[in-house]
Structure 1
Amino acid sequence: MAILLAWRGLMFLVLLAGGGQASDNTKKCNLTAENPSERKVLSLLEPLTNQNFTAPTTSGEKYTYIFQVCGDADGMKDAGVVQKSVDGKQVPIGRYNSTQVYGGNDWVMLIYKGGETYDGHCSQEERRAIIMISCNRNTLAGQLSVVLENRDRNKECFYLFELDSSAVCPVIPSKLSAGSILLIVAFCCLAVYLIGGFLYQRLVVGAKGVEQFPNYAFWSEIGNLSADGCDFVCRSRGSRDEPPTYRGVPTEPVEEPEERDDHLLPM
């Protein structure tokens, strides 16, 4: 059980580090000039897809603006930005099937063309919307705001919107080395193993005392074997009991036996 919990914890960390499988909702946008660099910039906006961003109306205004990244804003087919009046009328001012995108170090400019034509402005050309998305690490998606509606010109009129998001922020390089990351993963797995094993032994098995330690018999046997090996390699206790095989020369002079030949002298 404890091993299973540790394995699940490891898999969770791997998925967390990998960030999961990225979707490809931004591919719904048709670029006016398809090229890999623009597509790569557009892919940065993937976390912002499948959600509407609404610019709040202020006093005196009669329109609300709804924006969606590569999706139907306010449910309107092919419309990336919709102007909605107080009576509910929807006017597409930019379509995501005619998209341009530019990117910098900490910003992305998304342009939707092909909106509904003006009635009496800008030589009755098609409307277009420019959404300036700037880096803000404190929020995934801030409040959409209307910066400018430029229609007092003959051509190339536009609506300008602004949105803050952490999705376009540059990636901060990790200061951790590969060895440090492996150690963190190892310690996390060890913590999952110990905590999960402790809870299993205590709550399921009903163990008490040191028996609550997961796989206590296995680890205690490992400890005993390690101690025996250390004792065998590092200690020389067995050689002290053997009798010495070498006897040193005595330092005191050896006494010569006294010759007793007095009986040979004449009396």
Structure 2
Amino acid sequence: MAGAPPRMRALCMLLCLHRTLAQIDDETDGGPIGSAGDSGMSVGTPSCVYSTKGATFDLTGMLRGDHDYTGTTPGGYTYRFNVCSGTVKVCNSQAAPASKWRGSHCNNLGDLSTQEISLLDAKDPMKGVKVSYKDGDICKRQVSGQMEISSRQVTYAIECGGDEPAVLKHIDEVSMCEYTITFTSKHGCPVGSRRGGGWKFITMVFLFTGLYLGIGFAIKWHKFGMRGVEAVPNIDFWRQVPGLVFDGITLSVSKAKVAYGIASVKLFNGRLPSF
């Protein structure tokens, strides 16, 4: 291009500038999320197992292979994103963790290779984790009153809680180039920190027992003026419980002795020791 006329060089520069600015979308958007749905080509999966301060997190259960998480804003933008993988619907033929769409125009919000995982609260792993990506498509942002060219970046704030793999709470545009997507997820809790169904059942038993005793005491105390042991709800039944338990144990032992004797005769010709 060194020997090209000045007008030709100027035209080439304008074309290059136009292609660069075509990727820039500097409209501010935010607000409550909506929903959308689509599917497309799947992409690679970065590691989503993270360990720190004795706690291990496994976010792979949040990955979606058939459709993206989606959210829309009043500005007319649709956000598509995935966790531990690129979006199912690909923007500009490039794998990315998240993208921002308006019609057929889209921008990628980060690069999968830049993934970083850290705690939401450095002092409390039970708060959850955040997954950050940077080096997305270029954008314009305001710095000290001046507009600068930068690149988009997105952070997933994954709060520990609930029993679902992922519940999308909201999408925020922190600045003209930074986005935060907040989830509540059981995978946002350290592995092994959540109690299973058996513990939940035991907790419910203790809870209802406490309510039963507390309400019963209150009624017998205030309505009937009973005090001490007599204020225990259904005290006559509870006085019989030790005897009922003893009778049950005695019956079980008796049945076991009979079964043992029958087995000794039929299977071992009476050679088993008696008890």
Judging by fraction of residues, say which structure has more strand: 2
TM-score by length of 2: 0.46
Higher RCO, 1 vs 2 (CA within 8 Å, ≥6 residues apart): 1
Bigger radius of gyration among the two: 1
TM-score by length of 1: 0.47
